[in-house]
Amino acid sequence: MRALRGTGMARQLPSTVGGYYADPMTTPSPALSIALDETSDPPLRPLPPSVAQLLAELAAPPRLVAHLRAVHEVAAQLVEWAGGHCPELAVDREAVLFGAATHDIGKVLHPEELSGPGARHEEAGRELLLARGVPAALARFAGGHATWDAPGAGVEDLLVSLADKVWKNKRVPGLEDLVVAELARAGGRPVWEEFLALDTFLTGVGEDADRRLAWQAAHPVGARARGIRVNP
């Protein structure tokens, strides 16, 4: 049994979540542990406590929680870089972090899409979040993270989609071009200059991709968090 470490948030969680008894003192949820425990290889900041709690309530597969945490880390790095490089670009940081931390949550309902292709998790994830009371402005990332060129996609949508690619060092020129355009528009600098700046940053992010991939792969696809149903 792994102890809950790190933020200390787990100690503050209610003992009954979603009808499951999950006393963190005696039966730590694997989802909570994966979402919140300190890690050093690679260093990953913890998921937002509200998202960690939701993943525990849903008994999310360990691989999914690990993936969300890896993408959340890269999204946080992206937001920090954008804020320093182009302070003129208005970015809703909390929305990006929530979006990254929940973008694939629909795979709780479609776990086959954890190890194979499929898009059913997208709308399912959006509906799941809405049903849990998440505002539509935050639930949208689960539904739209794969369609970054859709009309109305904002810079927050682009950053979540970009994080979901570059965490594993996958480069998507069309997506990066959209981010470059946002940077150039906001900062009033040439597109080529923003292209070089983003490319340099993303190359650095990609250097840790192997460690993130290994960390995610170390978490099983199939096992779910265990809990005792007390309130069916």
Q: How far is the CB of 101 from Fe ion (least distance, A)?
A: 11
Q: How far is the CB of 34 from Fe ion (least distance, A)?
A: 15
Using CB under 5 A as the criterion, which residues of the chain lie in contact with Fe ion when the complex forms?
Answer: 104, 164
Q: Which residue, 13 or 128, has its beta carbon nearer to Fe ion?
A: 128
**Alpha-carbon span 107 to 121, nearest angstrom:** 5
Q: Which residue, 164 or 176, has its beta carbon nearer to Fe ion?
A: 164
Q: How far is the CB of 87 from Fe ion (least distance, A)?
A: 28
Q: How far is the CB of 104 from Fe ion (least distance, A)?
A: 4
Q: Is the peptide bond before 42 cis (omega within 30 degrees of 0)?
A: yes
**Alpha-carbon span 86 to 162, nearest angstrom:** 17
Q: Which residue, 57 or 164, has its beta carbon nearer to Fe ion?
A: 164
Contacts of 217 (CB under 8 A, 6+ apart): none
Q: Which residue, 28 or 62, has its beta carbon nearer to Fe ion?
A: 62
- Specify whether the CB–CB gap between 163 and 198 falls below 8 A: no
CA 217, 139, 80, 12 torsion-angle sign: negative
